């Protein structure tokens, strides 16, 4: 009799725990999928930019991420402005400013802020470097 009571108690505990786990997974699973918003990404052609006070050049390939389709369409139409601005920003950087992770992160932030300012669009989420090579 004692063994059967222990077995029943263990089974009840397992059922309660499984119920809790399933409930938590359903609640957080729904919120996670609902919060995910659509993003659009625009990848530019590879750019070759001179570096300030250096004989080196930078070869970069950039992807711009936005969360609005209208912004994506605007950026696609105005790609020449984006390329020009990226080129101007990079040309005003020294090789030391571009080297290392901090240099790349700083450049990404500067390009993103420039695009937000030029296009007056806060929906530009991020700028990514697909390729970043100093030659």
Longest dimension (CA), the chain: 88
Question: CA-CA distances (angstroms) from residue 97 to 26, 31, 45, 46, 126?
Answer: 48, 41, 23, 20, 20
Collapsing DSSP states into helix, strand and coil, what is residue 41? strand
- Residue 114 CA to residue 78 CA, distance in Å, equals 14
Q: How confident is the model at residue 35 (pLDDT cuts 50, 70, 90)?
A: low
Over range 86-95, report the average pLDDT: 93
Kindly provide the residue ranges of all beta strands, DSSP E only, lying in 13-135, ordered along the sequence: 40-43, 47-50, 57-66, 124-134
Tokens of 70: 């209208």
pTM: 0.71
pLDDT value at 16 more than 70: yes
Cβ atoms 103, 117 nearer than 8 A: no
For the chain, give the percent of residues with pLDDT over 70.
93
């Amino acid at each position: 009799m004692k063994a059967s009571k222990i077995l029943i108690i263990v089974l009840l505990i397992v059922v309660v725990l499984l119920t809790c786990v399933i409930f938590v997974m359903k609640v957080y699973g729904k919120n996670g999928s609902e919060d995910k918003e659509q993003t659009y990404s625009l990848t530019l052609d590879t750019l070759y930019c001179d570096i300030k006070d250096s004989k080196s050049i930078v070869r970069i390939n950039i992807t711009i991420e936005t969360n609005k389709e209208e912004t994506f369409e605007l950026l696609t139409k105005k790609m020449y402005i984006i390329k020009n601005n990226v080129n101007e920003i990079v040309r005003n950087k020294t090789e030391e400013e571009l080297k290392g992770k901090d240099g790349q992160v700083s450049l990404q932030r500067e390009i993103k802020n420039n695009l937000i300012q030029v296009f007056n669009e806060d929906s530009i989420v991020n700028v990514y470097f697909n390729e970043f090579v100093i030659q």
